Structure 1
Amino acid sequence: MIIPIIGNVTYPITLDPTVWIFDDRKILLEEAFKEHTDQNEETDELEKASERYNKEVFQIAKPPVNRSIKKFEREKILKSSYVMPLDDFINNAEVKPDASEVTLELDDNEVTISLRELKNSYFLFAIDGKPLKEDGPVHLYYKDGSNKENPIKNIKKLIIK
């Protein structure tokens, strides 16, 4: 149920989708495609470096975790389907500047997409509050909803190239 991000990155990381149900960054599946805004704008490299420096120096990088979940919220969590945006994880792995594509290793084959497409994607990790066991651990959806009817399933590893 874990997904390594390896390859052309400074820090190989391992994702564990089973704990994302408690993460405040999760988004309800039915709301994920409603307010999509085009995030293909290029950010200035100096600004990115500045943000990374400020984050490392002034903040302790902790994942946002919902510490107090009320009974109503707990029941909602256990009945809802959720996606997780991928950009934070990709940024934490610190992809090297010459990387441009990603190979998604699946159960029985591989799919290659651009790094930009990966950053503008979600991982579906829970349906009705339960982890994806049969064709999971995650499904990849593009934020623009273009593959909403046919997500990439059975993802086992991300290899940045």
Structure 2
Amino acid sequence: MRSADEILNEVKTLAVEYYELTGKPLGVTGEIAEAEAARLLGLRLADARSPGYDAEDIRMDPARRLQIKGRWKSGGKTWGRVPSINCSHEFDAVLLVLLSGHYEVVEIWEADRAAVIARLKAPGSKARNERNSMGVSQFKTIATRVWPA
């Protein structure tokens, strides 16, 4: 039986091939981001569809509940927007995993819940206010880079 890491590496390869053939992403960025954040930061992944969070930082007492968002960038494109953040459930922080064209982790950023909610509720952008999404550059202004350290 193959390991989860072996399967994840194959998924990355297939996702790159699919994008090169079709010009469309395969839709696996979120799962890759969660797995890589867990591996690199020593997190415990939550059960599928846990309301409000994707992983727990068990190095903390009590454990911190984390939403994990991933952005993949191929070539010279910009990072774009952070996927929608679900603020209706409890979580302690949001991790943003930035992935290269080959789905390798470039950086991981962490922003506390209060800072995320304040930025999403700030007047101005319909995408930010209604869709709970902000630009990657905006996220970085309220976050701390946690990987690489």
Normalized against structure 1, the TM-score is what?
Answer: 0.31
TM (norm. structure 2) is: 0.33
Which has more strand, going by share of residues? 1
Quick check: which one's helix share is greater? 2
